[in-house]
A and B are shown apart, each in its own frame.
Chain A
Amino acid sequence: MSSNFKSRLTGTMATAIMVACAASAAHAEGTINVYNWSDYIDESVLKDFEAETGIKVNYDVFDSNEVLETKLLAGTTGYDIVVPTGSFLSRQIQAGVFQKLDKDALPNLKNMWSLVSNRTSIYDPGNAYSINYMWGTTGIGYNVEAAAKRLDGKPVDSWEIIFNPEILAKFRDCGIHILDAPTELIPAALNHLGLNPDSHNKADIEKAAALLKTIRPYVQKFHSSEYINALANGDICLAIGWSGDVFQARDRAAEADNGVTINYIIPKEGALMWFDQMAIPTDATNSKEAHMFLDYIMRPDVIAKASNYVVYANGNKASHEHLDQEVLEDSAVYPDEATMEKLYVTTPYAPKIQRIVTRAWTAVKSGQ
């Protein structure tokens, strides 16, 4: 769930390409085809891997779980490693999309962090099919000056800013973006209503949608990637976004030195915690090389390099000593224990419930 250009547009193109060449990708010897989120790795990690092993990495990117899932369900993707988010992974495992990992070929599994592995086993029991790549939260990104002015200096620390129309209305003039991700926003609204964020109950989902409809008039756009640049440029001042993406906005604003200061918070009521997992499709032709890549990624210094670059937390305990201090000590990246307690996870919806969620979301966005 990282990426700068997670626009659905790329999704569209990917679909077109998918249809055009579903059975593509040649498998030369010593090659792996990796399909990861856009802007989600330090490219030098790939170069180092190629230099060390002689295996060529074909690195391709996607921008939404939906696009990845549709490709996987259509079959014969030609990819050897893909990176779905936990709740999507869980359903894909049931659909028989992935092969079990050969744990003997992955000695670096010893470096993994039980705090993360325990949570990812909700989606992938025993972590039999996947390893954690990165994890993060879905919280609030905001323009520090604009928020201070509108809240009379009160801190941004609560979902009230988003879900209380009276407060949200104050931000209308400076621009509000919300992720176009129903499976994350419905849980956030449920959490705010004091209901179980992982509720699959139709009545609950409708209550969440009703709450979201009350804030709809103040939202400029529902989009999952434009907010990064929009926050950094000062085009908008408030967004529900993914942790690392907001940090990228913060860094871009700092680089541009345009007087915009961006911050990210995990609201005190809690937030969604999600996990992007690396897995190997059943029809992968370079399974052995894919295992080598996974093991390489689990080296503490390698994954630390990636985390330092993308500012997302990883599931590798041993990597902590290699992390930049400002990444490891930032409680919005690596939440402290008290915050961790409040983070919640969600499980995949059954098709009928998924349809209700999607329909409710369409109704929220379009007013129909």
Chain B
Amino acid sequence: MAVADITSPSEEIQETSSPSSGWGRKLLIAIPYIWLLIFFLAPFVIVLKISLSDVILARPPYFPNFDISEGWQGLLAMLQAFDLENYVWLTEDTLYLNSYLSSLRIASISTLLTLAIGYPIAYAMAKAPKEWRATLLMLVILPFWTSFLIRVYAWIGILKKEGFLNYFLLWTGIIDEPLMILNTDTAIYIGIVYSYLPFMVLPLYAVLEKLDISLLEAATDLGCSPLKAFWVITLPLSLSGVWAGCFLVFIPAVGEFVIPDILGGSSTIMIGKTLWVEFFSNRDWPVASAVAILLLLMLILPIILFQKQQEKQAEASQ
């Protein structure tokens, strides 16, 4: 692609007419497809295959264990054993539906909270004097230099009954009894919002920073109040950043396992945890794979919506 871009149009026509460079172009275009094939489609097919298998006591603990070396025989055995019983199983116990719904709820609320906190931060950064911006951007990225796990662990120390937060609030006299935040849904929200905030701030900042200030000046000249100017100009123009940020937070938050496991209580069920239990406690790789496939399908829907939105944005800006 890059080669095509730097060549002038006339050269490009010449090049495409010669067969050798045509192959070169195709190869270049193929690279992202090959990438997707190896790192997305192949793992997906493997998980799909396991989700259609049965549990056995062996290594690996599922059957049929179709591998290429068995050739058609192996494929035939696989087809003969084909059934969707692992998927049917998921519909028979409300645990799975509840886990999916609970995950969606927690991810949605967390995303909205992250947006509510991230937008003002990104806005302030974009409005800050130019010489400060690089430093501010650095400050947003800085937490990534520490392990995600350690940062989540640190919240235990802050939120627990004898933690910093309770000490501080008791000391100031705001509360008389220590707050029980750790091991509740509130702790999960705090953990997710904290961990994913940079993913919300960065795309928002990228959009807001490029915003044409002359539009706002024009609005002010025409008698628009700053608040109204924000509503009719800044916000609509930053929507692509809002979408990008929301999906960068929402999608990983749905499948989140570490944060609810460390900060959440045992009464919170999320799909990541349910998947863990299937895989480790029940040793049921096929059902665990079926849960994962359904989760993936569930997340593809918002991604498609996001793509549509992006296309619309692109068309509108042309």
Q: Which residues of A contact B (CB under 8 A)?
A: 7-9, 11-13, 15, 64, 66-67, 69-70, 72-75, 91, 94-97, 180, 182, 220-222, 235, 351, 354-355, 358-359, 361-362, 365-368
Contacts and interface: CB of A to CB of B under 8 A. Distances in A.
Contacts of A74: 59-60
B257 interface: yes
B149 A13 contact: yes
Contacts of A8: 261, 276
B95 interface: yes
Contacts of B58: 73, 95-96
B267 A365 contact: yes
Contacts of A67: 280
A9 B149 contact: yes
Nearest to B277: A358
Interface string B41-69: 00000000000000101111100000000
Given A362-B95, A367-B267, A73 B61 contact: yes
A221 B59 contact: no
Interface stretch (B118-126, B192-200, B239-247, B281-289): B281-289
A94 B279 CA distance: 19
B93 interface: yes
A75 B58 CA distance: 10
B220 to A, nearest CB: 52
Contacts of A358: 277, 281-282
Interface in B88-104: 93-95, 98
B176 to A, nearest CB: 16
A9 B261 contact: yes
Contacts of B262: 7, 9
Contacts of A222: 266
B89 to A, nearest CB: 9
B253 interface: no
Interface in B244-283: 257-258, 261-262, 265-269, 274, 276-277, 279-283
Nearest to A75: B59
Contacts of A72: 59
A70 B280 contact: yes
Given A351-B284, A355-B282, A368 B98 contact: yes
B183 interface: yes
A75 B149 CA distance: 27
11 contacts: A9-B149, A66-B280, A74-B59, A94-B57, A95-B61, A180-B266, A235-B162, A351-B57, A354-B281, A365-B266, A368-B269
B161 interface: yes
Contacts of B281: 66, 182, 354, 358, 361
Contacts of B94: 368
Nearest to A91: B57
B95 A12 contact: no
Contacts of B161: 235
B138 to A, nearest CB: 28
A95 B98 contact: no
B268 A366 contact: yes
Given A8-B261, A368-B95, A355 B59 contact: no
A51 to B, nearest CB: 34
A351 B280 contact: no
B60 to A, nearest CB: 6
Contacts of B284: 351, 355
A221 B183 CA distance: 8
Interface in B110-131: none
B95 A70 contact: no
A12 B266 contact: no
A368 B262 CA distance: 20
A264 B44 CA distance: 49
Contacts of A13: 149
A310 B98 CA distance: 42
Given A355-B284, A362-B274, 6 more contacts: A69-B280, A220-B183, A221-B265, A351-B57, A362-B95, A366-B269
Contacts of B279: 15, 70
B261 A221 contact: no
A362 B269 contact: yes
Contact of B59 (A11, A12, A95, A368): A95
Contacts of A7: 262
B57 A12 contact: no
B116 to A, nearest CB: 29
B60 A75 contact: yes
Contact of A351 (B93, B183, B267, B283): B283
Contacts of B280: 11, 15, 64, 66-67, 69-70
